[in-house]
Structure formats: C-alpha cells, structure tokens
Homo-oligomer: A and B are copies of this chain.
C-alpha cells in the first residue's frame, strides 16, 4: 500500500529525469557537449569559489579518474581552466572561462525550459521543491 506509493514516487522521479535529458539531447549536441560534460559544467557555479577536483567528483557522484577524463574534454574545448590551489598544491581549482559561463547558461536555460516541471505553476513548484528538499535532508541525516 504505502509501498506502491513509494514505488510510484521513485518511478516518476526517474521518468522525469530521463525525459528532461531526452529533450536536452539536441541542445547538448549543438553545444558540442555530452551528458557527462554538461553535468560537469552545470555543477560549477560561477558565483561561488572555484571547486577542487575532489569536490567536483563528489558533486557528480563519480570517481577521480573519470573526472579527469571529463575535465580534459572541457579544458580542450576551452570551457574551464585548472590551476593549482595555493592553499594545497596537490589540489586543482577548476574555474569556468567566459565561454564556459556562456555555454553553461545556455544549457541550464534549455534544461529549465524543456523540463516537464516548467509547466507547473509557482505554488506547485514551491511545494515540490519543499518535498524534494525534505527527502534530501532526511537522506543526509543519521539513520
């Protein structure tokens, strides 16, 4: 009973994610990005201090070698730049270039416009964000 409600929620969340990604395919291709590179670009907020590779790997739920691979692509496309962290020279700080900021904006705008969520009204959206946020908080809390 509650079980099937939970399953409906998990399935709907999954489906919404897949559908958004599907619709974004064309935009990503236009920008010369793949899902992996686009996601990496997304999680680098130009308004915040440049994150380290380790921090980015956490955000992307991927491992270090994978991130190096993705960052090499973004670097060769001229969208990000790596520099040594003055505070810990083992670390690399990753910052968006001007081009990177531009492309990131394009991707995010497209994703928001294409997401099925875009059709919800503000009340529903606020409620939805509240519920999703609650789930994420509870997930972080101790068992």
Contacts and interface: CB of A to CB of B under 8 A. Distances in A.
B125 A9 contact: yes
A5 B126 contact: yes
B112 A138 contact: no
Please state the number of chain copies in the assembly: 2
A13 B21 CA distance: 12
A8 B45 CA distance: 13
A14 interface: yes
B131 A119 contact: no
Interface in A54-78: 61
Given A13-B17, A17-B14, A138-B120, A7 B128 contact: no
A6 B112 contact: yes
